[in-house]
Amino acid sequence: MLRRLGAGGAHEAFLVETDESGLAVAKLPRPWLAGDVHRLVSLRDEGDALRRLRAPAVPRHLDTVLTGAHPHLLMEYVAGPTLRTVIAGRSSLPASLVAGLGRALALGLAAIARAGWVHLDVKPANIVLNSAPRLLDFELARPATEAARMTHPAGTWHYMAPEQRAAATASGARIGPAADVYALALTLGEALAGRPLRRSPDPVPPQGAIGRVLAEALAPAPRDRPRADELAATLAAHADDEPERSLAA
């Protein structure tokens, strides 16, 4: 174990060195939750999602250990700051860089959607900037067929699509890959503005060509949003050639 990378309410992550994989990230339940069956199921399910979702935007799964004193999920270590950190340090980001970053992430979401899965927690803190950006934290990820049957909100409230927020209501639209498109558009709008976009009544991204593209992806109804691959194609026309390198510098 080399150093602690961060922690949430139920888990913490450490940078570790292994004989087989070199540097890796170990995600563990908090010590007092190491024997909690819900935390073990969560680790198992997240490991299963990473194994199934082989895409450039997804960290590689290395191992899942559910027994012993230190159950953990072992995954690829991706060096670089999170988009949340970059936004905090630079305020608003150039539109061409945001477009290039958005294109790469939208392609990642398209691959996840083709595999029949939904991430459900796309946000600046879950995006790490490297030679290619990666989506982190697949704890809530699940097959789209399961997401469509969700009966309670799951994710980070500010970045949830309207159908995620309304999951417990009979009138709510079914949750699917369009929810990830919405969250990505909200995230990219935040990068453009340098601050979280207001959600009342509906988020409005900054003006300009990129803002107009994102506004379409922020449509309240899932059916009115572009698919992730369509969003990627539209953003490509406005993109910097190497946005991830520029943002991670």
Give ∠ CA 52-119-62 in degrees, rounded to 5.
40
For residues 135 and 201, state if they share a domain.
yes
- pLDDT band (50, 70, 90) for residue 173: confident
Which CATH number is 173's domain given? Answer: 1.10.510.10
Distances (CA, A) of 150 to 39, 123, 159, 219: 19, 20, 17, 21
Q: Which domain holds residue 223?
A: 83-248
For residues 44 and 140, state if they share a domain.
no
Indicate the number of domains in the chain.
2
Strand-pair partners of 128: 82, 134
For residues 71 and 96, state if they share a domain.
no
CA distance 62 to 43: 13
Which tens digits make up the pLDDT trace of 37-62? 999 999 999 999 999 998 888 999 99
Which CATH number is 43's domain given? Answer: 3.30.200.20
| Least confident residue range of 150-154, 155-159, 175-179 | 150-154
For residues 198 and 169, state if they share a domain.
yes
For residues 49 and 159, state if they share a domain.
no
For residues 184 and 119, state if they share a domain.
yes
For residues 152 and 60, state if they share a domain.
no
How high is the mean pLDDT of the chain?
90
Residue 39, both tokens = 């935390």
For residues 135 and 157, state if they share a domain.
yes
For residues 147 and 223, state if they share a domain.
yes
Over the range 173-196, which residues count as b (16 or more CB within 10 Å of their CB) and which as e?
Answer: bebbbbbbbbbbbbbbbbbbbeeb
pLDDT higher than threshold 80 for residue 174: yes
For residues 52 and 145, state if they share a domain.
no
For residues 191 and 150, state if they share a domain.
yes
Strand-pair partners of 142: 118
Domain end among 50, 76, 102: 76
Element containing residue 73 per DSSP (H, E): strand 72-76
- pLDDT band (50, 70, 90) for residue 172: low
Domain end among 34, 49, 76: 76
Domain end among 35, 54, 76: 76
